[in-house]
């Protein structure tokens, strides 16, 4: 039985620019991973697929910590997607 | 964006890859240093920053400091063979400060430091502008020099900043370099203890 809820999703740099979205909410089931969230977003359309699909080089952070794709995501989490960092 | 990041009372989140090999430990002086990490659009004055780095809370210079290492990153006019007119820096507010705080905690646990600080600018920059500064103060030069290099290597590979540059061919996002990952890798111990 799924307990419907949502997460906050954030996009940075080229992903934010190409999708035109900096922040959004996404409904999730209570059992999901970063990979599930990424796949759901990639299914939004061609640009989303190009930015977040399997061929894209993307880093993910859950609650502001970089995590691997199999990391669990819970209702209320902040999940961010961005390209490899280029500061300094 | 906040020019000053207040210290969080508890431990800060550690970025993946750093946490796995050193335990953070922050000295009382450094916990009191509310200016350890600054993300700002404004420029900074190196002379002022170095003096502040060497100063005790009383304002007097700390006589225990025998060495200061300071690194400044600047906007270059050429990248990947193309002229760069403008460099736009974006970051992830909140995560940026947490990530750099964690890197500074790692540095403080590896080397005996009197003080360590980072300033990173965001927004619109131009060739010759200062982008980033790391200052490390210690009793002896080896700790200061190594801590400074360590912080830059991890800042470049972990802190969520992104650069977009304006070139004659149009704007483009700067790509991450494998050489930066290699630079951070060298700080990992070759064998686990």
Q: What is the mean pLDDT of each run of 10 residues along chain B (193 residues)?
A: 40 43 53 84 98 95 98 96 96 98 97 98 98 98 98 97 96 94 89 45
Which chain A residues are closer than 8 Å to B152 by Cβ? Answer: 88
Give whole-number Cα distances, B148 to A20, A25, A39, A83, B48, in Å.
Answer: 37, 39, 39, 26, 18
Is A83 in contact with B173 (Cβ distance < 8 A)?
Answer: yes
Confirm or reject contact between B119 and chain A (CB < 8 A).
no
pLDDT at A18 over 70: yes
Q: Which chain A residues touch B if contact means CB-CB below 8 Å?
A: 10, 12-14, 16-17, 61, 63-68, 80, 82-88
Tell which residue, B167, B187, B39, B27, has the closest CA to residue B100: B39
pLDDT of residue B155: 98
What pLDDT, on the 0 to 100 scale, is given for residue A31? 82
- C-alpha A28: how far from its chain's center? 12
CB contact set of A65 (below 8 Å; sequence gap of 6+): B13, B14, B15, B16, B95, B98
Is A38 domain-assigned?
Answer: yes
Of A17, A64, A82, the CB nearest to B98: A64
Domain that holds residue A62: 5-82
Domain count of chain A?
A: 1
The domains located in chain B, with CATH, are: 28-168 (3.90.1170.40)
Contact (CB<8Å) A85/B98: no
Contact A48, A41 (CB under 8 A): yes
CATH code of residue A40:
3.10.20.30
Nearest-angstrom CA–CA distance, B35 and B38: 6
Q: What is the pLDDT of residues A66-85, one digit of tens each?
A: 999 999 999 999 999 999 99
Note the pLDDT tens digit of each residue in A33-55: 999 999 999 999 999 999 999 99
* The residue to which tokens 């039985």 are assigned: A1
How many Å apart are CA B66 and CA B63, to the nearest integer? 8
CB distance from B80 to chain A under 8 Å?
Answer: no
What is the model's pLDDT at position A4?
65
The answer to whether residue A72 sits within a structural domain is: yes
How many angstroms from the chain centroid is the CA of residue A7?
A: 10
Supply the pTM of this predicted model: 0.86
- Environment class of residue B120 by beta-carbon count within 10 Å: exposed (0-12), middle (13-18) or buried (19+)? buried
């Amino acid at each position: 039985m799924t307990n419907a809820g949502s997460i906050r999703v954030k996009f940075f740099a080229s992903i934010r620019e190409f999708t035109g979205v900096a922040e959004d909410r996404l409904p999730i089931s209570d059992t999901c991973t970063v990979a599930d969230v990424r796949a759901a977003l990639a299914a939004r359309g061609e640009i989303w697929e190009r930015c977040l699909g399997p061929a894209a080089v993307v880093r993910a952070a859950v609650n502001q910590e970089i995590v691997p794709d199999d990391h669990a995501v819970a209702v209320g989490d902040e999940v961010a997607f961005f390209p490899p960092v280029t500061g300094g | 964006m906040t020019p000053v990041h207040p210290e969080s009372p508890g431990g800060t989140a550690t970025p993946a890859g750093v946490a796995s090999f050193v335990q953070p430990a922050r000295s009382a002086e450094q916990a009191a240093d509310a200016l350890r990490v600054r993300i700002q659009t404004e420029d900074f004055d190196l002379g002022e920053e170095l003096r502040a780095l060497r100063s005790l809370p009383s304002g007097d210079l700390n006589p225990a400091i025998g060495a200061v290492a300071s690194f400044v990153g600047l906007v270059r006019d050429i990248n990947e063979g193309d002229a760069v007119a403008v460099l736009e820096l974006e970051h992830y507010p909140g995560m940026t400060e947490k990530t750099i705080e964690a890197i500074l905690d790692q540095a403080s646990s590896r080397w005996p430091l009197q003080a360590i600080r980072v300033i990173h600018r965001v927004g619109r920059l131009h060739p010759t502008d200062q982008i980033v500064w790391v200052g490390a103060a210690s009793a002896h030069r080896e700790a200061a020099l190594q801590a400074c290099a360590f912080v830059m290597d991890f800042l470049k590979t972990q802190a969520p900043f992104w650069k977009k540059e304006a070139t004659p061919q149009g704007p483009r996002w700067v790509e991450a370099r494998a050489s930066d990952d290699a630079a951070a890798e060298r700080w990992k111990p070759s064998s686990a203890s």
